[in-house]
Amino acid sequence: MAVKIPRTPAREQDPAVRAANFDEVCYGYSAEEAMLEASRCIQCKKPGCMEACPVNVKIPQFIREALSGSFAEAARVIAQDSSLPAVCGRVCPQETQCEGACILGVKGEPVNIGKLERFVADWSMSNNLNLTETVSPNGRRVAVVGSGPAGLACASDLAKMGYAVKIFEALHKAGGVLEYGIPEFRLPKERVVKREIDNVRKLGVEIETNVVVGRTVTIDSLMKDEKFDAVFIGSGAGLPKFMGIPGENLNGVVSANEFLTRANLMKAYESCYDTPIYVGKRVAVVGGGNVAMDAARTAKRLGADVCVVYRRSEKELPARVEEVHHAKEEGIAFRMLTNPVAVLGTDSGWVRGLRCIRMELGAPDADGRRSPVEVKGSEFDVETDVVIMSLGTSPNPLIASTTPGLEGNRRGCLVATEAGATTRAGVFAGGDAVTGAATVILAMGAGRVAAKAIDEYVRST
Ligand SMILES: Cc1cc2nc3c(=O)[nH]c(=O)nc-3n(C[C@H](O)[C@H](O)[C@H](O)COP(=O)(O)OP(=O)(O)OC[C@H]3O[C@@H](n4cnc5c(N)ncnc54)[C@H](O)[C@@H]3O)c2cc1C
């Protein structure tokens, strides 16, 4: 009988050390480790992993190349379908996508597809592999709003079809959440995000930053005055939600979005930058998603004692198990079945605490999750200097409100078909702007689907 090879673990920074620095937590695989892990793939005839990947990376094929040490070829296989493999290898929820469909996972542990993708992508970057194909221009132009994963994926595919593509980005740096939201210790900016965006630029995609579509220009001016043949909107869901409880306007209450943007984009954690961020001694993060984990782990690295306040129990935490595990290892406390009812302030208007109430789980709601119910009379106070609200985000209404005929729904998301067509002819959309906050790979998948639909539309005009 063949000896079963166990899943190859990826080396990580010691939790006690990493809780005080912003260096990447996971070191990834060496070439030997990657080849060992690649040898676990049984090369299914009908690969479920590939179907479960929203951009359909040819997973068995790239793993086969990696197994024989042909890392350049493996990188070429991935590049056919993904413009951001080093990003996806780091942040995709593989456990619910490719790895969730791996046949080895039925009786044991799935192939570590994420770490293999990350290894191949990192190898190709450190060996300066040129993955750019030369294509002849087709003479048509497409504008893309937003340089997050949706916009970058759409732009890459269109550029590969011969379109002249220009991305308009509101911020001063490209990348969307990859740049301003996901922390450096999970996704290095210069070493990974910038280099993958540079690869998109090498395809001929132009990126203009500091352009707020809806203010600096409009969708109509892009189409009528600047004569773009079509527009793709990948403007994300960056508008934070708050609880609406007393004291939320005190100094020291911030949204996770603002907190992480200050840390990542404004480099608040580096002493040479003059845009610091206040964390005080204690930080309470309200919410239980991946964004809450990122905010909590960032606050910890900035020197605070951090607790996560969540209204359901640990079982219902929406964050990835790996993120919760890492947060706990780094010393973050969790207050489960707890909900804030007011933020408490000092006479000078600064946060001094959070009044909370205990919760218990009641009947399941429409999603099948048990609803949290307040336990009457169980209020108690938690001392804290800063409260970070991490309750989800929705799309900014600016573009919908400045584009006649572009419909949004009740949740503030743009209305679009599966192919990305909006209610305005020639205007397509995808990613968080359409679905609400989701994932990098789903946004990329939507960008790719829309690129196809844009091509069909432009050819028909
Ligand atoms: C802190 C955090 C951690 C996350 N962690 C993960 C993770 O580990 N794994 C995962 O898969 N997903 C994660 N996500 C979710 C994921 O990052 C998003 O689903 C994904 O980035 C959505 O891509 P997008 O291109 O639709 O939007 P975005 O990434 O939000 O990009 C939209 C871009 O459009 C720009 N823009 C907005 N309005 C305008 C305008 N009017 N004019 C011009 N430009 C505009 C924005 O500045 C932004 O750059 C995380 C999200 C956050 C906030």
Q: Summarize pLDDT for 77-91 with one digit per residue, the tens.
A: 999 999 999 999 999
pLDDT of residue 3: 63
Q: What is the value of pTM for the model shown?
A: 0.95
CB 151 near ligand 1, within 6 Å: yes
Cα–Cα distance measured from residue 252 to residue 125, given in angstroms and rounded to the nearest whole number: 41
**Could you identify the residue written with the tokens 């009641």?**
362
Pocket test for ligand 1, best of 147, 177, 321, 398 (most atoms within 8 A of CB): 177
Q: Is a pLDDT exceeding 70 seen at residue 191?
A: yes
Query: In which element (H, E) is residue 164 found?
Result: strand 164-168
pLDDT of residue 133: 79
CA 443 to centroid of ligand 1, rounded, Å: 8
Q: Is a pLDDT exceeding 80 seen at residue 312?
A: yes
Cα–Cα distance measured from residue 389 to residue 403, given in angstroms and rounded to the nearest whole number: 31
Q: Which two tokens stand for residue 44?
A: 């299914």
Domain identity same for 380 and 298: yes
Q: Summarize pLDDT for 367-395 with one digit per residue, the tens.
A: 888 889 999 999 999 999 999 999 999 99
Lowest mean pLDDT of 231-240, 272-281, 321-330, name the range. Answer: 272-281
CA 147 to centroid of ligand 1, rounded, Å: 9
Domain identity same for 301 and 313: yes
pLDDT of residue 268: 80
Domain identity same for 157 and 204: yes
- Amino acid occupying residue 300: K
φ/ψ (deg, to 5) at 364: -65, 145
Percent of the chain residues past pLDDT 90, beyond the cut: 91
DSSP 316: G
- The model's confidence at residue 4, banded by pLDDT at 50, 70 and 90, is confident
On average, the pLDDT of the chain sits at 95
The last residue of one of the domains, among 369, 391, 413, is: 391
Q: How many angstroms separate the Cα of 16 from the Cα of each of 13, 330, 332?
A: 9, 6, 12
Lowest mean pLDDT of 37-41, 255-259, 320-324, 417-421, name the range. Answer: 320-324
Q: Summarize pLDDT for 196-217 with one digit per residue, the tens.
A: 999 999 999 999 999 999 999 9
Please state whether beta strands 370-374 and 333-335 pair in parallel, antiparallel, or not at all (unpaired): unpaired
In the three-class reduction of DSSP (H, G, I as helix; E, B as strand; rest coil), residue 201 is classed as helix
The last residue of one of the domains, among 75, 96, 126, is: 126
CA dihedral of residues 181, 182, 188, 191 (deg, nearest 10): -60
CA 234 to centroid of ligand 1, rounded, Å: 9
Domain identity same for 256 and 364: yes
Domain identity same for 94 and 169: no
Cα–Cα distance measured from residue 74 to residue 392, given in angstroms and rounded to the nearest whole number: 37
Nearest atom in ligand 1 to the alpha carbon of residue 174 is: 49
Domain identity same for 152 and 119: no
| Contact criterion met (CB below 8 Å) for 222 and 143 | yes
pLDDT of residue 247: 98
For 318, counting Cβ atoms within 10 Å of its Cβ (0-12 exposed, 13-18 middle, 19+ buried), the class is middle
The last residue of one of the domains, among 99, 126, 153, is: 126
Domain identity same for 66 and 153: no
Query: In which element (H, E) is residue 168 found?
Result: strand 164-168
Count of other CB atoms within 10 angstroms of residue 26: 19
Closest to 445 measured CA to CA, from 187, 165, 234: 234
For 132, counting Cβ atoms within 10 Å of its Cβ (0-12 exposed, 13-18 middle, 19+ buried), the class is middle
CA 172 to centroid of ligand 1, rounded, Å: 15
Nearest atom in ligand 1 to the alpha carbon of residue 447 is: 25
CB 94 near ligand 1, within 6 Å: no
Domain identity same for 260 and 343: yes
* DSSP labels, 332-393: -EEE-SEEEEEEEE-TTSBEEEEEEEEEEEEEE-TTSPEEEEE-TT--EEEE-SEEEE-S-E
CA 182 to centroid of ligand 1, rounded, Å: 9
- Number of domains within the chain: 3
Domain identity same for 287 and 146: no
Closest to 153 measured CA to CA, from 114, 188, 203, 192: 203
Cα–Cα distance measured from residue 219 to residue 221, given in angstroms and rounded to the nearest whole number: 6
Q: Summarize pLDDT for 132-174 with one digit per residue, the tens.
A: 878 999 999 999 999 999 999 999 999 999 999 999 999 999 9
For 406, counting Cβ atoms within 10 Å of its Cβ (0-12 exposed, 13-18 middle, 19+ buried), the class is buried
Domain identity same for 177 and 294: no
Residue 18 lies in a domain: yes
* DSSP labels, 59-105: HHHHHHHHHTT-HHHHHHHHHTT-S-HHHHHHHS-GGGTTGGG-THH
- The model's confidence at residue 270, banded by pLDDT at 50, 70 and 90, is confident
Residue 355 lies in a domain: yes
pLDDT of residue 269: 80
CB 432 near ligand 1, within 6 Å: yes
The CATH number of the domain holding residue 221 is: 3.50.50.60
Cα–Cα distance measured from residue 143 to residue 382, given in angstroms and rounded to the nearest whole number: 49
CA 41 to centroid of ligand 1, rounded, Å: 32
Nearest atom in ligand 1 to the alpha carbon of residue 215 is: 41
| HSE (side-chain half, CA atoms, 13 Å) at 322 | 12
CA 378 to centroid of ligand 1, rounded, Å: 38
Q: Summarize pLDDT for 316-373 with one digit per residue, the tens.
A: 999 988 899 999 999 999 999 999 999 999 999 999 999 999 999 998 888 888 889 9
Count of other CB atoms within 10 angstroms of residue 20: 11
DSSP 231: E
Residue 132 lies in a domain: no
Q: Summarize pLDDT for 95-115 with one digit per residue, the tens.
A: 999 999 999 999 999 999 999
**Could you identify the residue written with the tokens 């069909």?**
456
- Amino acid occupying residue 36: L
Domain identity same for 158 and 250: no
- The model's confidence at residue 266, banded by pLDDT at 50, 70 and 90, is confident
CB 179 near ligand 1, within 6 Å: no
Please state the rounded mean pLDDT for residues 282-307.
97
Q: Is a pLDDT exceeding 70 seen at residue 274?
A: yes
The CATH number of the domain holding residue 75 is: 1.10.1060.10
- The model's confidence at residue 93, banded by pLDDT at 50, 70 and 90, is very high
**Could you identify the residue written with the tokens 């006479």?**
347
Q: Which two tokens stand for residue 211?
A: 């352009």
pLDDT of residue 177: 98
In the three-class reduction of DSSP (H, G, I as helix; E, B as strand; rest coil), residue 283 is classed as strand
Residue 448 lies in a domain: yes
Give the structural domain span for 253.
242-391
Pocket test for ligand 1, best of 144, 180, 210, 235 (most atoms within 8 A of CB): 235
CA 107 to centroid of ligand 1, rounded, Å: 35
Q: Is a pLDDT exceeding 70 seen at residue 2?
A: no
Residue 1 lies in a domain: no
Residue 133 lies in a domain: no
Domain identity same for 46 and 184: no
Residue 3 lies in a domain: no
Residue 442 lies in a domain: yes
Q: Is a pLDDT exceeding 90 seen at residue 55?
A: yes
pLDDT of residue 276: 82
Please state whether beta strands 253-255 and 386-389 pair in parallel, antiparallel, or not at all (unpaired): parallel
Cα–Cα distance measured from residue 444 to residue 148, given in angstroms and rounded to the nearest whole number: 9
CB 145 near ligand 1, within 6 Å: yes
